[in-house]
Structure formats: C-alpha cells, structure tokens
C-alpha cells in the first residue's frame, strides 16, 4: 500500500532515533534525502541498504511529480532531512501537500527536532510559544522584528554561526538589551552548550567566543 513516511533523524547523537524509524528506513522502497552523503553516514552506522535519492530545496519542484507517480503506483517512500524532522525549516511541505491533494496517505513519525530541547532547557515559559525558524535575511526582516517586539509568548528562532552575533545585536535593538534570551548550540552533540542571560550578556559572550555549530535562540516574550 502506498504511503509517504516523514522520518526524523538525529540532530547530533546517532542514538537519538526510534526503533520504528530504523525499521521503516529498512522496509520502504526508497528514501528521499536532503543530502544523500549525510544520510549515508546514518545508513552505514545502522547497516541500512535502502536505495537513496536526492530531494532538496533546489530540486523538489522538478522531481515532485516523479515521486507522486511512484507513490500512486503503490510504492512506500520515506523522506528524511539532514537532521531533525522533515518540513521543519527543511524540504517536505510541497511533497506532503501534494500527497494530501492526491489522497496519498502520509505518516509523520515523532522524533528529533532541535527547538524542543532548546525551549525546554531555556528556563523561559514553554506553555505558549511561537516558532519563527530562520528570519528573512534581508527583505522583510526589520518589519518582522518590529512585529515580534510586541509578542508576549516565548519566541523560537534558528540561526547559523556566521549570523548569530548580528542577529543577537538586532534582537537587542528591537527587543531591548535586558530581554531574557537562551541560546543553545550543538544540541545532543559532544560540545553542546546553552547560554542564558540578558540579550546584552549573551551577545557579548558570543562576540568573545567564536560561534560554532547550529543555533537555536529562545527569546522571552514582552
């Protein structure tokens, strides 16, 4: 029976994967991967030999119809990103939307997502929050920051190491230097770190310490 499985993969430690995820990665006809080189490392670790094909932001529009046709023909397909849950700041939405439109069953497994441990570890309110992911790099960025300055819920952002200091500087400008923030990097990896404090304190910390790894920023609401 045809079905699309969205399977979360570890964001750091390779042990952070479910038994069900491993079983399905071995059982499906093919696995669509954001970067096949990254997924091959996971497959090698767990001795998985299922065929792999590339499915990423640069080709998803071109190959979408191909995979829908194969699903409609009765195949089972798994989609994985480099790390975490597909479609959360990663490719996946277009494929899921088309499957829903075509009446193809979709099953997203629970599993690794970077912002959940970062939010829980932050010490900031987690009963209500908003997920912003990556902010626009240029167009619309300032407009979005002005809106978020009035947000009362905790806010979740993703950021790269080469932009983290600039982003924290902008947050200090729009949200205030005293606004509480928690920044986590390298979650579940050997050098995992969470820095908490005022926006000014955390910004100065990463100005002095060269940022490395992928970052999750949790900002207190107004």
Predicted confidence (pLDDT) per residue in 41-69, tens digit: 999 999 999 999 999 989 999 999 999 99
What's the CATH code, domain 115-219?
3.30.950.10
Question: pTM (2 decimals)?
Answer: 0.91
d(CA 10, CA 196): 24
SS3 of residue 105 by DSSP: coil
Helical ranges in 109-180 per DSSP H: 115-122, 141-148, 164-175
d(CA 13, CA 203): 27
The tokens describing 122, both together, are 């932050």
Question: Over the chain, what is the mean pLDDT?
Answer: 96
d(CA 60, CA 25): 20
84 touches 34 (CB < 8 A): no
d(CA 40, CA 48): 9
Nearest CA to 4 out of 120, 86, 60 is that of 86
pLDDT of res. 135: 95
Query: What are 92-125's pLDDT values in tens digits?
Result: 999 999 999 999 999 999 999 999 999 999 999 9
Residue 222 has pLDDT above 90, yes or no: yes
Query: What are 11-22's pLDDT values in tens digits?
Result: 999 999 999 999
Domain 3-108 fold is Cobalt-precorrin-4 Transmethylase; domain 1 (3.40.1010)
pLDDT of res. 89: 87
Query: What are 134-172's pLDDT values in tens digits?
Result: 999 888 999 999 999 999 999 999 999 999 999 999 999
β-bridge partners, 155? 130, 219
Domain ranges for the chain, please list them: 3-108, 115-219
The tokens describing 177, both together, are 């230097």
210: which DSSP letter? -
d(CA 157, CA 90): 14
- Average pLDDT on 32-38 reads 96
pLDDT of res. 43: 98
Q: Tell me how far apart the 2 most distant CA atoms of the chain are, in Å.
A: 57
pLDDT of res. 1: 80
200 touches 172 (CB < 8 A): yes
Domains 3-108 and 115-219 fall in the same CATH topology: no
């Amino acid at each position: 029976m045809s079905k699309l499985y969205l399977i979360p993969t570890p964001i750091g430690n390779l042990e952070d994967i479910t038994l069900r995820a491993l079983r399905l990665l071995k059982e499906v006809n093919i696995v669509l991967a954001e970067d096949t080189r990254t997924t091959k490392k996971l497959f090698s670790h767990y001795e998985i030999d299922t065929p792999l094909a590339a499915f990423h932001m640069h080709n998803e529009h071109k190959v979408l119809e191909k995979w829908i046709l194969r699903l409609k023909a009765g195949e089972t397909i798994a989609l994985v990103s480099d790390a975490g849950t597909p479609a959360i700041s990663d490719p996946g939405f277009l494929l899921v939307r088309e499957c829903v439109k075509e009446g193809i069953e979709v099953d997203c497994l629970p599993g690794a997502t970077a912002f959940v441990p970062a939010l829980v570890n932050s010490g900031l309110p987690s009963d209500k929050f908003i997920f912003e992911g990556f902010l626009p790099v240029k167009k619309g960025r300032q407009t979005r920051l002005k809106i978020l300055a009035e947000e009362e819920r905790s806010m979740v952002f993703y950021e790269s190491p080469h932009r983290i200091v600039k982003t924290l500087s902008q947050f200090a400008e729009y949200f205030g230097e005293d606004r509480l923030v928690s920044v986590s990097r390298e979650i579940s990896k050997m050098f995992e770190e969470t820095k908490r404090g005022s926006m000014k304190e955390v910004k100065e910390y990463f100005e002095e310490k060269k940022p490395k790894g992928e970052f999750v920023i949790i900002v207190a609401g107004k």
